[in-house]
Structure formats: C-alpha cells, structure tokens
Amino acid sequence: MAEQQIPKPEPPITETTRPFWEGTKRNELMLRKCVECGHHRNPLVIDANICPNCGSRKPSDWVKASGRGTVHTFTVVHRIFHPAFEAEAPYVIVIGELEEGPRLLGNMRGIAPDKVKGGMPIEVIYEELNDKITLPQFRPAKALA
Amino acid sequence: MSSKKCAIIGVGYTPQGKLPDWSVRELFLEASKNAIDDAGLKTHDIDGILVELCWTDPSTQCWTLQQDLGIKVTGLCANYDSMGASGGCKVQLAQMAIQAGLCNNVLIAFVEKSATAPAVPYRMGPGPGMAHGLFGAMPGIALAAQRHKILYGTKSEQLAEVAMTFRKHACLNPIATMRKPMTLEDHQNSRMIADPLRLFDCCLVSDGGRAVVVTSAQRARSAPKRPVYIMGFGQGHVNIDLLMRHDLISTGAEKSGKTAFQMAGIEPKDVDVLGLYDATSHNVITQLEELGFCKRGEGGAFVEGGRLSLEGEFPTNTSGGMLSEVYLQGWTGIPEVVSQLRGECGERQVKDAEIGLVTNQGGFISYHSTLILRR
C-alpha cells in the first residue's frame, strides 16, 4: 500500500442524510419510512423530507433495514475514472434491491467480479472510508443455516 | 393530427473532432450562420432562438447568440436543457412556438466541447455514488446494459453488431472521425470500460457544433432546399436517479415513441431511415424494443444480420452516429436524417428514403425525444 493514497471522493453529509451516516457507523442500514403511506425510501436518493410515493412532507420515520437483498444489476468497472480506484480496479458496482423495497448502491466484496450474477442474494456490510464516513457495501449472503 | 405544420429547412455544421482553436461562442456562431445560409434566410429573418448550454463552458447563452448574430428582436429566446434529449425536444418546442404564433423562423443551436475543453466535473455529480466509483455516464449505462443481459441474455457480439454497422457507415462519411473498418475481433479486443460495455460500445469524445432552422410548412415551400416536414413527435421522461427507476430498461422511449407514431399516423415498419441516440450500442438495442421495432428482449437478435446497415431493413445512424462519426450529444441524428430525406448523402444514401425517425436521450437514459420526419 502506498503511503499517500489518493482518497476516494467523500459522499456529502447533509441535514437529511446525517442519520443514515450515523447508522452506517453503528453498522446499521437506516431507511426512511413514510408515516402516512408506509413507503420505504433510500435517504441518499431523496435527500429531502418528501415521500416520493405519496408526496407527504411529514417527517418520515428512520427505520433499521434488514440489510438483505438481491443483485438487481451490476457492472464491473475496468476503466480508471478516478485515481483512488486504481488499486481496486476492476471493481464491481451493484444496484442492490433491498428486502424493504428501495435500491442501494454499493461495491461487491468477498467474491470474484466474474462470479457476480443478477438476482443473487446479498447482504450489506460496512466499510470505513475515514473518520467521518462508513460506506455500506455488499457481499454474497451467507446461506441461512 | 398535426402533420406538415412545420419543417426543418436548414442544417448547419462546423468543423468537428478536436478543435483547440475554436471557442464555444465561435462554434455556436459558425453552426448558426451555416444553418441560416442553408435555409436560404438572412440572420434578421430569425425570430426565435433555442440554445442548449455547452456543459463544459455554459457561457454562451441564447441571448449571447442573439447578440452575436445581430438580431434586434425575437419572439422566443430560451435556453433549454433536458441534456442529451435537448436537440429533439427543442425542435418540438420550435414547432409549438411557431404554431402558437410566437415566431416564424426558429434557430436551434448546440455546441459540444469535450475533446479539448479543460476537464470539468461531470454535471450530474458529485453524488453519493462517487464513493463507490460511479463516475460519468458509462458505468451508469453499463448497469442498464447488464440488466438487459441478466433478463434476456444479450450478448457482447450483438452489441458489436451495432458498433460495426455504424463504423461501416462512418467509412462512407468524409467528415466522420472513425473511418477504419471494425471487425468483430477488433470489437472483442477493445478494452473493457464497464462490463458489458467495451471501448467500441461507447461514444466518442468530440468538439463541434450543429444548428437547424425550423419554419412553418407554408414558408418552407419557398426554401431553396427540399423541406423536411415534422410529422410527429413525442417525449418521455423517467426518474433521473438510477436507483429510483422502476426498471432500468423500461425508459421514457416507449411513451415518446408511441406519442410520435400516433401523431404521424405511421408504424415502425414505415420508417426508411433511423437516427438513434447511441451513447452506447446498448442504447440502440433497447430503443428498438421500446419504439416497437421489435419485441422487448429481442433487440439483441434484431440487430443481427446487418438489419441496421444501409442494405438492411432499417438503415440506422448512416453518418456513423456518436459511436463512429462524432459525439455531439445527440446532434448527429437530426442533421443526418434531414440529409437522407433530402437525398444528399452520396455513397451512403438510403435509396428513396421518405420517412425518417430520430431519437434523443439525456441523463442516465432518463430523458427521451422522438421525431418523425418526412420529405
């Protein structure tokens, strides 16, 4: 490992996403659940107090997700778009479909890129980016014992 | 319903490729003047201006262009942005403005400066995806292309068929950037960008400008060149965020196409020449499905056997498109289809081309425009 590694771009923490990032630090995946219609949403996508399902602006609840889901789709990125990813490439970006409904972006860990398949069961793991941010990532789900 | 209300009567080009000595402002002016000349008009005849800002240098706006052209007053002057879908959307807006009586002759201009401009952050960032290595358009489109592969088993060789066909067309186009024939081996050996997209599945990076002039059908009759009438148009827009998309391969192209076909009163089989938005070869395959040229999931098989080639059933992107002619964010389609319907395409002319279809897409396959044109 190089001494001075170029850091990965840091996701912005906003007022409405702060509880999400506090959750990942505790190794918990926090979603918003609308108090009016019960719709779950990914707080990083709708970074506002708005339910995209019913339009409610009543502050949604923060609920802990199971962290389980499936691979909706993925790509294995070979091109280096940013120097921070040079050591990692080729790396897998997954759009995971969570049990609660919303989709979550993450990198796939714990499996060779060419073994990733659409529909495969996955679970969220937590990866420290720096002192401030812990990223949600994915790995293949362990078989239910 | 709305056939032959308006027509495209002028098309303007600039040099294209790598243009370090041209400013964005100069390219806007050059494309505009050439389109106005082609339409047989004088600058003071233009009373409507629609501009799409150049994303690497947004300093040239609709009012800059109006000033630079020396036009004293217009009835419509607007910047319009639905990203790569803007070209087609602006032609639609021009017709609506002309029909509403706001103006008579609308100039629509666009400039891309991504080959020699200083690097600027992609305009859709910085989002949370960057921490996971999601940069720019290609990995995003790759996620959609992979979904198509997961559901329908679409093969890299089928993506290659699109890229090779458009390259063949580019070889007949003197202004195309990529004029060396591409074999399947070349395609398969081109480096992987974001699986399943290889380098040759991805569009070029270019500089250049284009403009068109839209006028009423009545005035179009006195234009020096054969008018190309707008028979139908449509739009369809879905969520910009990939994670909010109901389905990554069901896009607004379907709605956009349905509206346009219904307005034009024709069906896909009636189309003689196509200009499909080809940010990647994947985009072409899904659009053929969504526009109804084939069934959903069958786009991969549909493009096989040279169906999109000049000799095929549906000649598509006869200039080489954004994959092989030049990347102008959707501005290869309209000028080329207009030239085809005018019968100006020389070696790559589609015989007796009468009806053309052009699509534009913007964002992460989020915004869609369809135009149906007729000579």
Q: Do B147 and A72 touch (CB under 8 A)?
A: yes
Q: Which amino acid is at B42?
A: K
pLDDT for the residue B262: 98
- Of the candidates B134, B144, B243, which has its C-beta nearest A45's C-beta? B243
- Per-residue exposure over B107-130, b if at least 16 CB sit within 10 Å of its own CB, e if not: bbbbbbbbbebeeeeeebeebbbb
Say if residue B66's pLDDT is above 60. yes
Checking if the pLDDT of B236 tops 90, the result is yes
pTM of the model: 0.95
From residue A10, alpha-carbon distances to A7, A45, A128, B90, B189 in Å are 8, 16, 11, 37, 34
Q: Are B244 and B361 in contact (CB under 8 A)?
A: no
pLDDT range class, residue B74, cuts 50, 70, 90: very high
Among the residue ranges A73-87, B61-75, B111-125, the one predicted with the least confidence is B111-125
What whole-number distance in Å separates Cα of residue B350 and Cα of residue B348? Answer: 6
Flag if B193 and A78 touch (Cβ within 8 Å).
yes
pLDDT (0 to 100) of residue B128: 76
* Partner-chain contact B195 A42, CB within 8 Å: no
Mean pLDDT in residue range B199-224: 97
Tokens 């702060």 map to which residue? A18
Answer whether B146 sits within 8 Å of A73, measured CB to CB.
Answer: yes
Which of the four pLDDT bands, split at 50, 70 and 90, describes residue B121? Answer: low
Q: Smallest Cβ distance to A91: which of B133, B241, B248?
A: B133
B13 carries an active-site annotation: no
Average pLDDT over every residue of B66-75? 97
Contact B130 A8 (CB under 8 A): yes
pLDDT of residue B123: 56
Residues of A in contact with B198 (CB under 8 A): none
pLDDT of residue A4: 65
> What residues of A are in contact with residue B150 (Cβ under 8 Å)?
73, 117-119
Chain B, nearest residue to A14 by Cα: B128
B163-208 pLDDT, tens digit per residue, is 999 999 999 999 999 999 999 999 999 999 999 999 999 999 999 9
- B196 contact residues in A (CB cutoff 8 A): 75
What are the residues facing A71 on neighbouring strands?
A96
The reported pLDDT for the residue numbered A92 is 98
> What residues of A are in the B interface, CB distance below 8 Å?
8-12, 42, 44-46, 52, 72-79, 81-82, 85, 88, 90-91, 93, 95, 102-107, 113, 117-119, 129, 133, 135, 137
Q: What is the 3-state secondary structure (H, E, C) of chain A?
A: CCCCCCCCCCCCCCCCCHHHHHHHHCCCCEEEECCCCCCEECCCCCCCCCCCCCCCCCCCEEEECCCEEEEEEEEEECCCCCHHHCCCCCEEEEEEEECCCCEEEEEECCCCHHHCCCCCEEEEEEEECCCCCEEEEEEECCCCC
Asked if pLDDT for residue B124 goes beyond 60, the answer is no
Task: Provide the pLDDT for residue B2.
Answer: 45
The pLDDT, as a whole number, for residue A76 is 98
Q: Which residue in this structure is represented by tokens 């949403």?
A: A41
Residue B367: active-site member: no
The string of DSSP letters for B219-249 reads HHTTSSS--EEEEEEEEEE--SSGGG-S-TT
Which ipTM was obtained for this model? Answer: 0.94
- How many angstroms away from the CA of B23 is the closest CA of chain A? 26
- B127 CB neighbours in chain A (<8 A) are 11
**3-class DSSP assignment, residue B197:** strand
Closest among B360, B65, B341 to B220, alpha carbons compared: B341
pLDDT tier at A46, thresholds 50, 70, 90: confident
With a cut of 70, say whether residue A2 has pLDDT above it.
Answer: no
Residues in B touching A74 (Cβ below 8 Å): 143, 146
Among the partner-chain residues A103, A119, A135, the one whose CB lies closest to the CB of B131 is: A135
Q: Could A76 and B195 be called an inter-chain contact, meaning their C-beta atoms sit closer than 8 Å?
A: yes
Confidence category of residue A145, pLDDT binned at 50, 70, 90:
very low
Mean pLDDT across the stretch B143-151?
97
Mean of pLDDT values over B7-26: 97
Confidence at residue B1, expressed as pLDDT on a 0 to 100 scale: 43
Judging by beta carbons within 10 Å of its beta carbon (0-12, 13-18, 19+), is residue B61 exposed, middle or buried? Answer: middle
Over the stretch A88-136, which tens digit does the pLDDT of each residue have?
Answer: 999 999 999 999 999 999 999 999 999 999 999 999 999 999 999 999 9
